[in-house]
Structures are given as structure tokens and as C-alpha cells.
Amino acid sequence: RLVYLWGSIGVLFVFFVRKLEESPQWLESRGRHEEADVVLTRIEAGAAAQHGPLPAVQKPQPQPQNPVRRSGPGLLKDRKFLFPTILLSILWITQTIGFFGYSSWAPTLLAAEGVSVEDSIFYVALTTVGAPLGSFLAAMVTDRFERKWCLVVFGLIIAASGLLYGLTFTPVLIVVFGFLVNLFERGYTALAYAYSPELFDTRGRSLGTSIAYGLGRLSNAAGPLMIAGIYNGVGYEAVFIFIAGTWVLGALVLALFAPATRRRRLAAEAREKQDPVPAAS
């Protein structure tokens, strides 16, 4: 009960929502130019107070009077939007089944194979130490290397570590391989959160990432049932082969079809250095 009570503290976030600034670019895309100007002016005032006077605002370049285009399910007709949505859906579905299938079932499966419930829970608890370290590892590599290939490498390491975890009953090896799964999975998830929005423009970013991530969460309803069926129908080892297979599938799809984004980020950073202050709305 205390666990659920602790989780409910998140409801306090609603009291801080009003302090969040809306994206001026998003407001502009909706034709809400005055609101965009107010938000941008407030952001610039805060930057000036913190860093000193800002460079003079450049005169806006004339833009064609295009009609305001709203995002919505109709964007799925656009291949530039549909392709990354499908790609990221595969990423998040394989991540969800691969990790939550492992983390949810590992103690139960170990206990079913003769490891005591107390020992299995203790082993799994030790492996979770790798989770915060995985986030730190992601922070170290996310801007130094191509995120696509980081995800591929992390996914393959998770597959190998998870498979070895399921094929050993030596306590030390259970903890070591479980630690590696948690380490690289948390790093994988952090990298995926950073990589996902890079595949969309501003107009389709929220919708695309929402669809992909939502399908990933939805797959968690089917994943445990699939694992239960595999365990009852085939056996213990087959479960971990299946879980490793989901990670390998995700890594292969990323390696073959995912676009690289590092050069795009570097180009954006170069433009920001040349023109650090956006034109007034």
C-alpha cells in the first residue's frame, strides 16, 4: 500500500504545469502569433537577466503566407511522417516486450526453476543497481556518438546478457548478467527518448512520438501473456530466447532503416552559434 501511495505523489505535478512555457514555435504553427511573441519575450527577458544583454534582434525575413497547417491523424498519409512512426513503433514495442517481459517474469521464472522466492527477489533487486548507472552511461555517449548506433549496440548487449542470464543458475552470474541488462536497458531507453523526436519536424513531433510510444505501452498487455504461453508450451530457456530475439529484432530494424541524426544536430548547433537570437515573432 505504501508503494502505491508513494506513486500517487505524482499528482502534485498538476500544480506546476502552469509554470511551464509553451513552445513559441508551436504557437506560431497554430497561428497564435501574439501568444508566441509574449512567450518568446518572456524567455528572452529571463536569458538577459541571467546572461546579460542579448545581441540585437535581426530583422525577420519575409515568409510566404502559407495557410496554418494543423497536425492530426491526417499526417499518417505523409510518408515523411508515416515511416518514422512505424520505425519508432517497432523500437518501443520491442523495448517494452524485451524489458518488461524480463523484469516482470525474472523472479517468477527463477522461483519456478528451483530458486527460492527470497533468493530470486534478492538477486533481481541487486541487478537493479545497474539502472541509474545506465542513465549515466547514456549521458556520456548520447552527444558523442551517433544515437542510432548506440541504440543498436546497447540492444545487442541486452539481448546477449539477457540470454546468458536465463541460461545460468549460478548466483554470481545471475546478478552479473542481470546487472548488465538493467545497465544497458536504462541507457537504451534514455537514448530512445532523445532519438525519437529527432525523426519528426515540429508539426508532427508530438503526434508521432505519442503514437509510437503508446503502441509500445499497449504491447505490454500482450507481452506477459506471450511469455506465459511460451513458458508453459516450450520451456524456461525458450522464454529468454524469445526476449533476446525481440531485442535483436529492434537492433536490426534500427541498423537497416533508422536514419542518422548526429550531423543534423551538429548543423543545427552551428546555425545557433551564428544566429543565437531568433527573430521577433
With beta carbons less than 8 A apart as the criterion, state whether 278 and 43 touch.
Answer: no
Q: Which residues of 33-71 are buried (b: 16+ CB within 10 A; e: fewer)?
A: eeebeebbeeeeeeeeeeeeeeeeeeeeeeeeeeeeeeb
CA distance 56 to 39: 18
Instruction: Tell me what pLDDT residue 281 has.
Output: 38
199 backbone dihedrals φ, ψ, rounded to 5°: -90, -5
Q: What is the mean pLDDT of each run of 10 residues along the chain (281 residues)?
A: 82 82 82 89 86 79 58 71 92 91 72 70 80 91 92 95 83 86 93 91 82 90 85 84 93 93 64 50 38
Complete domains list, the chain, with CATH: 1-55 (no CATH), 75-266 (1.20.1250.20)
What are the distances in angstroms from CA 78 to CA 62, 72, 275, 280?
27, 11, 31, 31
Handedness of CA 224, 258, 252, 136 (dihedral sign): negative
Instruction: Tell me what pLDDT residue 105 has.
Output: 72
Instruction: Tell me what pLDDT residue 70 has.
Output: 59
Query: What size, in residues, is the chain?
Result: 281
Residue 203 C-alpha cell reads as 508539426
